[in-house]
Amino acid sequence: MNRPTMEDVAERASVSRALVSLVMNDSPQVSDQKRRAVLRAARELGYRPNLMARILAQQRTHTIGVLVDDLRNPFFGEVVDGIEAEAAEHGFRVLILNGHRDARREVEAVETFLQLRVEGMALVGARLDDSDTARVGMAAPCVMVAGGSVRSGVDTVGTDDRRGAELAVEHLAALGHTRIVHMDGGTNVSAAERRSGYESGMRSAGLGDLVDIRPAGDDETDALGVIDELLADDDPPTAIFAFNDLLAAGALNRLADAGMTVPGDVSLVGFDNTFISALRHLSLTTVNQPTLAMGRLVMATLLQRVSDGSGGPIRHTLQPELVVRSTTGPPRDGAVLSPAP
């Protein structure tokens, strides 16, 4: 079956091909009556403009590539929502590829974006090293989101992760907790700053000798072994600060399986304030990152680079806020934390 052409639309609407072209390019030079006739004819015929032909003619794709570290993490999805909202307001399309937490696959995704001639790229939580990120920045405008090294020389948008971790520790210390464990984010790009903030917060609270960092990861399954280790400790913690909300959710599930109550036996704080943290059965105390604002700022920065690529790297650092819900409270009254028989 042959696809309908612009000539077919012109014939059906009783107008010239040139006028159909003007309508398809949203030209203001066409009367409302003619525009309606052309669009009606196109709809009846099932005609769609040839996007590749338009790209070749205009030498513009009006497309942004977004590389996401892991689509299963709701934090990244919420940032992408902001990118898409801002992009739509400026007539840009967004292409999304998942890196699957694999730097090699991320390199392949970036190459795909370049072959598709995107006008800019957002690397959301990407694990590319500095040299690969720098090469991306040389090939197209690029904004790095939620971590990564400023040494790569590309624009960045993120939250003050160190300060966010300090807020979590300050909150727990103010409730009276001294044995506060940090479930670390492993190789995640934001892990080092949050780890540093935890250590700083512990020192500021006079708890520097009690710093306890347990290697974990960045999703719910990574919490399981860590919680089992903590339950077996002779001096178990009364509070846990998890790298992110997913890790905290995994910890909450494992504690419940062991018969522990939160916050009765253990207080728990996450990081990101994703939508899951507000679900009633979680009601997780967490550190908020303004994901929608971050996404919009990413797109605004890319648009700025597309229109004027001059100047040094732009650094946008947003401030975190603590959101207190139901998973934190004062430490248990001298009780020994142990799993239910």
SS3 string, 98-162, reads: ECCCCHHHHHHHHHHHHHCCCCEEEEECCCCCHHHHHHHHHHCCEEEECCCCHHHCCEEEEECHH
Q: Kindly report the pTM of this predicted structure.
A: 0.81
pLDDT at 35: 87
pLDDT band of 13, cuts 50, 70, 90: confident
Q: Which among 161, 187, 317, 319 has a CA at the least distance from the CA of 241?
A: 161
Dist. CA 72–CA 154, nearest whole Å: 26
Percent of the chain with pLDDT over 70: 92
| Site of tokens 């970036």 | 110
Other CB atoms within a 10 A radius of the CB of residue 55 amount to 15
137 confidence band (pLDDT: 50, 70, 90): confident
Per-residue model confidence as pLDDT tens digits over 140-178: 889 999 765 666 778 999 999 999 999 999 999 999 999
- Using CA atoms, how far residue 105 sits from 102, 110, 140, in Å, is 5, 9, 19
Distance of CA 326 to the CA centre of its chain: 25
Average pLDDT over the chain, rounded to whole? 89
Percent of the chain with pLDDT over 90: 59
Structure tokens at 214: 């347990």
Integer Cα distance of 102 and 209 in angstroms: 36
**Residue range 248-276, pLDDT digits in tens:** 999 999 999 999 999 999 999 999 999 99
The three-state secondary structure class of 287 is strand
> Residue 2 carries which DSSP code?
P
| 284 contacts 267 by C-beta, under 8 angstroms | no
Average pLDDT over residues 267-295: 96
pLDDT (0 to 100) of residue 51: 60
Q: Where are the alpha helices (DSSP H) in the chain?
A: 6-13, 17-24, 32-45, 51-58, 74-89, 103-115, 130-139, 161-174, 191-204, 223-232, 245-257, 291-307
The alpha-carbon radius of gyration of the chain (Å, integer) is 25
